[in-house]
């Protein structure tokens, strides 16, 4: 059954539209299971009714019309239990409810399977048999597998239905709840960014004009060829023979005339080019996989990459250019850092990502840009967003569409208050972050995500605690040369005017890969990432270290941080390479060590093993930085980018608090200063607890810094320590948060975490 199931899921996803998709679904299930009826109901979560969306075997005229209250009947029973229901005689079940004129009165056997998306029932598939029958355990297992694969998709259909339904068009306000990612409020016009589809999701569609379609295919082909040539040229000095061979293989594939002819033949038969490409590439993929040779099988990745490139060119030619609104809120299914980087910053007022969590790099970038953001909008689809103004409340995580005049007036008033508060906070930028009882914590900046923007306003930071170098590398189409890197780092070091700047060694892998140096790991966060890549590529590492050292020759305000250190031997290898780079720079610039003392080097503690070995690591370096984003990810085993598990991701988890405290204590026992560079430092609750741990500095985005300063100035170290002592006794992150919230209210600090406060 498995191949059939795969085929079915694929056909549903490739269907022309939602109605076709559901029609295919019920028809195919009816055939495969051999049942008299198969129907799909989806939940309208606003009216709390199930709507019959497709049926095979029951009254077709009821489709789109029949609505069943979500608490009634067998559907209601399944909805509440969130479990499948298998009956040999449905009418005997106490919850059975006869729906008039549907034609199910003759049905006896019943199998109802919920479609559960993000813990919520979004729809139910019902199979019925007129005669006696017991649906088998295999039927049940098949339906369960199918439902897990289609729940996400059906949830999208359910919401799209809502959009077109009458009650959606009556302009009553409605809202979605997401996670607050970047504090702030805005009112703006949604700009929907539709991501490029995966090739396998491209549907078959007829083409309107064959010769036009052929022309656009050939144009895409030429553009892809050019792109590959360019890539090979750019990479030739950087890549080894093996990697160069890969690009050459791509070029050969694309030049393969039989492949080109096959695609063109499909187009001549009337298929649109993306569909023709999908058909030919998936055929070829099958052939590759059928060959019993791992080398050939691995070539499917190259094939996929090539197809993706071609598809990009094909679809971008079809895409009409939309302009970004004057006060635009960028909305996407999953915002990427690249999408954010593309939009004009002066017009961007907010960011909404249906998926994603607070420590993804897109979230960090949104905060760096200082725009309010809400991510992880459960139950929303892109289609639902209106083209008129919406309200984004980055404090509560609310997004309000079609606001009425009262809601609008309320938020406009809050916006005014927020502006006034920002002015007040800006005024205190020269005041030190000193607690009421005189304890000082330095406040530093995290930069690198949107460099020019982040450095445009003076928020009174005492230096830079983290300069992420990845984005500077991402903006290039090849590795930046040593001279280019010197220019970039010199600019940052000079702009901070003698204040210390911690530049972090390139930390690629995970969710950050360079377009010209793709890393394809099955488990990217546990794979080839950060310092592991750099140690495997001393060529890249040494160039970066040398560039940093040379950029610092005049300014003298550089410190270097090493990301992702998990072993002492890794640190030792880094220190050896650092000595080598330093000696080379001394020789090249004809200086002696006394004239140019070696800049300080530290580690970023973000892997749990480093917490336990902090003393051995700290004694080898000059300072310790704690990256709470990754430390939380690795301690809690929660992928920081996966919204399915993002609810559990919280740096206030008592285990994370313990680990951070142990790291600070361990480093201090070795006499080394410690600062925090993860997002925990920007969270007023997190910052209060870190102050209590007597960390030397907190490093964060420029937008959060004024609030954190205000919080520190309004609390005493003694109070903060009391908060920490109790927080550490809590057993769950949610309890720590609740406790901190109550205490912030008591200490009259609640305004710092509220809109317009």
Q: Report, as residue numbers or ranges, the catalytic residues.
A: 361, 677
Q: How far is the CB of 604 from ligand PEP (least distance, A)?
A: 6
Asked if residue 93 lies in contact with residue 87, where contact means CB atoms within 8 angstroms, the answer is: yes
Residue whose CB is nearest to Mg ion in the complex, by number: 630
Residue 18 contact among Mg ion, ligand PEP, none, beta carbon within 5 to 8 Å by kind: none
* Nearest residue (CB) to ligand PEP, 550 versus 559: 559
Asked if residue 428 lies in contact with residue 709, where contact means CB atoms within 8 angstroms, the answer is: yes
**Which 496-515 positions form the footprint of ligand PEP (CB under 6 A)?**
507
Asked if residue 655 lies in contact with residue 547, where contact means CB atoms within 8 angstroms, the answer is: no
Q: Stretches 91-99, 109-117, 481-489, 626-634: which one binds ligand PEP (CB under 6 A)? A: 626-634
**List 677, 691, 712, 727, residue binding ligand PEP (CB under 6 A):** 677
DSSP label of 196:
P
Bridge partner list, 187 = 391
* Nearest residue (CB) to ligand PEP, 402 versus 651: 651
| Residue 627 engages Mg ion in binding (rule: CB under 5 A) | yes
Asked if residue 233 lies in contact with residue 242, where contact means CB atoms within 8 angstroms, the answer is: no
Residue 393 contact among ligand PEP, Mg ion, none, beta carbon within 5 to 8 Å by kind: none
Q: How far is the CB of 678 from ligand PEP (least distance, A)?
A: 3
**List 139, 570, 630, 683, residue binding Mg ion (CB under 5 A):** 630
**List 28, 36, 418, 630, residue binding ligand PEP (CB under 6 A):** 630
* Nearest residue (CB) to ligand PEP, 147 versus 358: 358
Regarding beta strands 120-129 and 109-117, do their DSSP bridges make them parallel or antiparallel, or are they unpaired? antiparallel
Q: Which three-class secondary structure state does DSSP give residue 132?
A: coil
Measured in whole angstroms, the distance separating CA 633 from the mean position of its chain's CA atoms is 14
Residue with tokens 């940052």: 492
Helix axes 294-318, 273-290, angle to 10 degrees: 170
**Which 314-333 positions form the footprint of ligand PEP (CB under 6 A)?**
none
Residue 678 contact among Mg ion, ligand PEP, none, beta carbon within 5 to 8 Å by kind: ligand PEP
DSSP string, 141-153: HHHHHHHHHHHHH
Q: Which three-class secondary structure state does DSSP give residue 624?
A: strand
* Nearest residue (CB) to ligand PEP, 358 versus 555: 358
Q: What's the angle, vertex CA 719, arms to CA 718 and CA 724, rounded to 5? A: 95
Asked if residue 396 lies in contact with residue 175, where contact means CB atoms within 8 angstroms, the answer is: no
Q: Stretches 59-67, 325-333, 599-607, 608-616: which one binds Mg ion (CB under 5 A)? A: 599-607
* Nearest residue (CB) to ligand PEP, 337 versus 400: 337
- 546: nearest Cα among 495, 517, 583: 583
Residue 468 contact among Mg ion, ligand PEP, none, beta carbon within 5 to 8 Å by kind: ligand PEP
* Nearest residue (CB) to ligand PEP, 494 versus 609: 609
Exposure string of 338-359, with b = 16+ CB inside 10 Å and e = fewer, is ebbbebeeebbbbbbbbbbbbb
Residue 628 contact among ligand PEP, Mg ion, none, beta carbon within 5 to 8 Å by kind: ligand PEP
Percent helix, strand and coil across the chain, each rounded to 5? 50, 15, 35
Size of the site for Mg ion (CB under 5 A): 3
Q: How far is the CB of 152 from ligand PEP (least distance, A)?
A: 27
Residue 70 contact among ligand PEP, Mg ion, none, beta carbon within 5 to 8 Å by kind: none
Q: Which three-class secondary structure state does DSSP give residue 89?
A: coil
Radius of gyration (C-alpha) of the chain in whole angstroms: 29
Q: How far is the CB of 464 from ligand PEP (least distance, A)?
A: 13
Regarding beta strands 464-468 and 442-447, do their DSSP bridges make them parallel or antiparallel, or are they unpaired? parallel
DSSP label of 45:
T
- 443: nearest Cα among 679, 692, 667, 681: 681
Asked if residue 436 lies in contact with residue 718, where contact means CB atoms within 8 angstroms, the answer is: no
* Nearest residue (CB) to Mg ion, 337 versus 715: 337
Q: Stretches 254-262, 547-555, 623-631, 702-710: which one binds ligand PEP (CB under 6 A)? A: 623-631
Q: How far is the CB of 688 from Mg ion (least distance, A)?
A: 22
What's the CA gap between 113 and 180, in Å, rounded?
34
Q: How far is the CB of 45 from ligand PEP (least distance, A)?
A: 34
What's the CA gap between 560 and 571, in Å, rounded?
13
101 φψ region: left (φ > 0), alpha (ψ -120 to 50), beta (else): left
* Nearest residue (CB) to ligand PEP, 365 versus 715: 365
Regarding beta strands 49-56 and 37-44, do their DSSP bridges make them parallel or antiparallel, or are they unpaired? antiparallel
Helix axes 717-727, 654-669, angle to 10 degrees: 130
Element containing residue 67 per DSSP (H, E): strand 67-69
Q: Stretches 21-29, 244-252, 624-632, 706-714: which one binds ligand PEP (CB under 6 A)? A: 624-632
What's the CA gap between 45 and 43, in Å, rounded?
6
Q: How far is the CB of 575 from ligand PEP (least distance, A)?
A: 21
**List 370, 372, 678, 686, residue binding ligand PEP (CB under 6 A):** 678
User: What residues contact residue 651 under an 8 Å CB cut-off, 6+ apart?
Assistant: 628, 629, 631, 632, 678, 679, 680, 683, 686
* Nearest residue (CB) to ligand PEP, 36 versus 507: 507
Q: How far is the CB of 626 from Mg ion (least distance, A)?
A: 10
Asked if residue 200 lies in contact with residue 278, where contact means CB atoms within 8 angstroms, the answer is: yes
* Nearest residue (CB) to ligand PEP, 154 versus 502: 502
**List 606, 639, 643, 719, residue binding ligand PEP (CB under 6 A):** 606
Q: Stretches 305-313, 573-581, 628-636, 708-716: which one binds ligand PEP (CB under 6 A)? A: 628-636
Residue 36 contact among ligand PEP, Mg ion, none, beta carbon within 5 to 8 Å by kind: none
Q: How far is the CB of 659 from Mg ion (least distance, A)?
A: 14
| Residue 599 engages ligand PEP in binding (rule: CB under 6 A) | no
Residue with tokens 């498995």: 2
Q: Stretches 123-131, 545-553, 624-632, 646-654: which one binds Mg ion (CB under 5 A)? A: 624-632
**Which 353-372 positions form the footprint of ligand PEP (CB under 6 A)?**
364
| Residue 39 engages ligand PEP in binding (rule: CB under 6 A) | no
Residue 12: CB atoms within 10 Å: 22
What's the CA gap between 405 and 400, in Å, rounded?
12
**Which 442-471 positions form the footprint of ligand PEP (CB under 6 A)?**
466, 468
What's the CA gap between 374 and 182, in Å, rounded?
7
Size of the site for ligand PEP (CB under 6 A): 11
Residue 677 contact among ligand PEP, Mg ion, none, beta carbon within 5 to 8 Å by kind: ligand PEP
- 19: nearest Cα among 46, 51, 50, 48: 51
Q: How far is the CB of 604 from Mg ion (least distance, A)?
A: 6
Tokens representing residue 455 in the block: 């450095």
| Residue 650 engages ligand PEP in binding (rule: CB under 6 A) | no
Q: How far is the CB of 655 from ligand PEP (least distance, A)?
A: 16
**List 628, 641, 663, 743, residue binding ligand PEP (CB under 6 A):** 628
- 680: nearest Cα among 693, 669, 667: 693
Q: How far is the CB of 628 from ligand PEP (least distance, A)?
A: 5
Regarding beta strands 85-87 and 109-117, do their DSSP bridges make them parallel or antiparallel, or are they unpaired? antiparallel
* Nearest residue (CB) to ligand PEP, 398 versus 512: 512
Q: How far is the CB of 631 from ligand PEP (least distance, A)?
A: 7
| Residue 627 engages ligand PEP in binding (rule: CB under 6 A) | yes
Please report, as ranges, the residues that interact with ligand PEP according to CB under 6 A.
364, 466, 468, 507, 606, 627-630, 677-678
Please report, as ranges, the residues that interact with Mg ion according to CB under 5 A.
606, 627, 630
């Amino acid at each position: 059954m498995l191949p059939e199931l795969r085929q079915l899921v694929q056909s549903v996803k490739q269907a022309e539209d939602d109605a076709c998709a559901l029609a295919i679904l019920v028809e195919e299930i009816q055939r495969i299971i051999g049942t008299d009826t198969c129907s799909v109901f989806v939940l309208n979560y606003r009216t709390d009714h199930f709507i019959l969306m497709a049926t095979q075997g029951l009254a077709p005229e009821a489709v789109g019309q029949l609505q069943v209250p979500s608490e009634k009947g067998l559907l209601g029973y399944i909805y509440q239990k969130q479990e499948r229901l298998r009956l040999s005689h449905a009418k005997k079940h106490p919850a059975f409810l006869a729906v008039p004129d549907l034609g199910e009165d003759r049905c006896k056997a019943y199998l109802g399977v919920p479609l559960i998306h993000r813990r919520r029932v979004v729809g139910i598939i019902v199979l019925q048999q007129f005669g006696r029958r017991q649906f088998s355990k295999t039927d049940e297992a098949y339906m369960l597998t199918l439902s897990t694969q289609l729940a996400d998709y059906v949830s999208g259909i359910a919401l799209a239905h809502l959009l077109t339904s009458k009650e959606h068009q009556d302009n009553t306000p409605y809202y979605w709840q997401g996670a607050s990612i970047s504090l702030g409020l805005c009112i703006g016009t949604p700009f929907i960014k539709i991501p490029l589809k995966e090739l396998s999701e491209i549907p078959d569609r007829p083409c309107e004009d064959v010769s036009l379609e052929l022309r656009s295919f050939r144009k895409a082909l030429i553009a892809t060829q050019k792109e590959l040539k360019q890539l090979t040229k750019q990479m030739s000095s950087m890549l080894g023979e093996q990697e160069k061979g890969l690009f050459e293989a791509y070029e050969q594939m694309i030049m393969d005339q039989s492949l080109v002819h096959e695609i063109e033949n499909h187009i001549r038969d009337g298929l649109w080019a993306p569909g023709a490409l999908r058909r030919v590439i998936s055929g070829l993929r099958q052939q590759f996989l059928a060959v019993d040779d791992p080398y050939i099988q691995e070539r499917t990745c190259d094939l996929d990459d090539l197809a993706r490139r071609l598809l990009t060119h094909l679809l971008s030619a079809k895409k009409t250019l939309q302009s970004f609104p004057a006060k635009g809120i960028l909305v996407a299914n999953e915002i990427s850092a690249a999408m954010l980087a593309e939009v004009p910053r002066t017009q961007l007022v907010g960011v909404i990502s249906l998926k994603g969590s607070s420590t993804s790099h897109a979230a960090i970038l949104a905060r760096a840009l200082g725009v309010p953001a809400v991510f992880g909008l459960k139950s929303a689809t892109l289609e639902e967003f209106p083209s008129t103004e919406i309200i984004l409340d980055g404090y509560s995580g609310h997004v309000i569409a079609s606001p009425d005049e009262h809601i609008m007036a309320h938020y406009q008033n809050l916006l005014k208050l927020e502006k006034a508060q920002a002015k007040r906070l800006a005024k205190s930028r020269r005041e030190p972050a000193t607690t009421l009882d005189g304890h000082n914590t330095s406040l530093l900046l995290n930069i690198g995500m949107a460099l020019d923007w982040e450095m445009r306003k003076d928020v009174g930071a005492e230096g830079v605690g983290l300069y992420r170098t990845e984005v500077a590398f991402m903006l290039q189409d090849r590795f930046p040369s040593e001279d280019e890197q010197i220019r970039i780092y010199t600019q940052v070091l000079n702009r901070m005017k003698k204040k210390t700047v911690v530049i972090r060694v390139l930390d690629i892998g995970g969710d950050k890969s360079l377009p010209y140096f793709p890393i394809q790991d099955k488990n990217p966060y546990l794979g080839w990432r950060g310092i592991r890549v750099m140690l495997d590529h001393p060529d890249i590492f040494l160039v970066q270290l040398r560039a940093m050292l040379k950029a610092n020759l005049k300014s003298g305000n550089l410190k270097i941080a090493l990301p992702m250190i998990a072993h002492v031997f890794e640190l030792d290898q880094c220190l050896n390479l650092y000595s080598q780079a330093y000696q080379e720079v001394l020789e090249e610039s004809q200086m002696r060590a006394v004239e140019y003392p070696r800049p300080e080097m530290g580690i970023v503690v973000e892997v749990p093993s480093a917490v336990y070995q902090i003393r051995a690591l700290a004694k080898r370096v000059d300072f310790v930085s704690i990256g709470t984003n990754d430390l939380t990810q690795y301690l809690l085993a929660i992928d920081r980018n996966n919204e399915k598990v993002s609810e559990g991701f919280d740096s206030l988890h008592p285990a994370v608090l313990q680990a951070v405290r142990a790291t600070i204590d361990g480093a201090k026992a070795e006499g080394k200063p410690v600062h925090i560079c993860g997002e925990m430092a920007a969270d007023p609750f997190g910052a209060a607890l870190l102050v209590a741990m007597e960390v030397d500095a907190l490093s964060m985005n420029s937008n959060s810094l004024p609030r954190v300063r205000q919080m520190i100035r309004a609390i005493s170290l003694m109070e903060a320590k009391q908060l920490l002592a109790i927080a550490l006794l809590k057993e769950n992150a949610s309890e720590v948060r609740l406790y901190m919230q109550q205490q912030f209210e008591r200490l009259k600090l609640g305004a710092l975490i509220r809109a317009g406060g």
